[in-house]
Structure 1
């Protein structure tokens, strides 16, 4: 059985770092091959070129223009690439904020994802405090974060913490200072079922 595992959350929570750390343990525990699909790796260069052409700012990843015209096609391509791998028998770890999709419960919908009903879906919500996330964003000094940092109040209003119905089925992971036991427990949760 193949698995589609999403690592979602806001910038600076450590989604990519966590997915890479768990890649080997998940492959071993599940006995199935995985691929790692990170939105920024797959679409960062393309989106930079497109935004440079349109706005003159290749690092714009949070303006209303980007969110309206490029965000959804990036995510659709990310999910479509995961689906192609799943159809070949390769499970996928998918990394991206995907906050709207989490809020709307889309990542639990096999039909919306376009994946076979037998694919095991897991959604990990990676979180840390806003202050820690902002410190990490500043420390990594990625030019793609410039708009976000310059418009922090607008960005922080878009952040949400899943609760109620939007939290159902999510594997919540506090990535502030996890221990080895925390990582092992998350692997077990992802593989379970």
Structure 2
């Protein structure tokens, strides 16, 4: 059985770091190989080139223009690449904000994902307090975050922590200051 594990959450929550930390233990615990698909690694260069042509700013990755025209193709390509790996028998970790898809519960919809029903599906929502996320974004000094920081009041309105029915089957992970016990517990929930 293959597995598809999503690491979702807003910027600065540590999604990629968490996925990279857990991929080795996950392969050991499951006895299966996994590949890691990070949205920024797969599509960052392409989107930067497209935005440079459209707006003159390659780091304009959160503007309304980007969100209206490039977000969906990036996310669809990410999910299609995951599906290709699953069809080859390779379990996959997918890293990306995917906030809209979490809110609309699309990541639990096998038909929308285009994957077989026998794929083990897990969705992790990685979160930290807003100020922690903002501080991490400032410290990492990634040019892709410039729009977020310059328009923080606008950006923060899109931030949310899932609650209610959205949380059904969602693995919530507070990445503020996790301990090894927290990582172990999350790993057990992903594998179990």
TM-score in terms of structure 1 length: 0.99
Q: Where does residue 179 of structure 1 map in the other structure?
A: 179
CA distance in 2, matches of 1:65, 1:5: 29
CA distance in 2, matches of 1:187, 1:31: 13
CA distance in 2, matches of 1:39, 1:17: 13
SS of alignment partner, residue 178 of structure 1: coil
Q: Report matched runs for 1:45-64 at 5 Å.
A: 45-64=45-64
2:91 maps to 1:85: no
CA distance in 2, matches of 1:188, 1:161: 22
SS of alignment partner, residue 122 of structure 2: strand
Structure 1 stretches of 5 or more lacking a match? none
Deviation at 1:167, TM superposition (A): 1.1
Deviation readout 1:83-136 (Å, 9 max, x if unpaired): 000001000000000000000000001100000110011000000000000000
Structure 2 stretches of 5 or more lacking a match? none
Q: Where does residue 153 of structure 1 map in the other structure?
A: 153
Count residues with an aligned counterpart.
192
SS of alignment partner, residue 158 of structure 1: coil
TM-score in terms of structure 2 length: 0.99
Q: Where does residue 111 of structure 1 map in the other structure?
A: 111
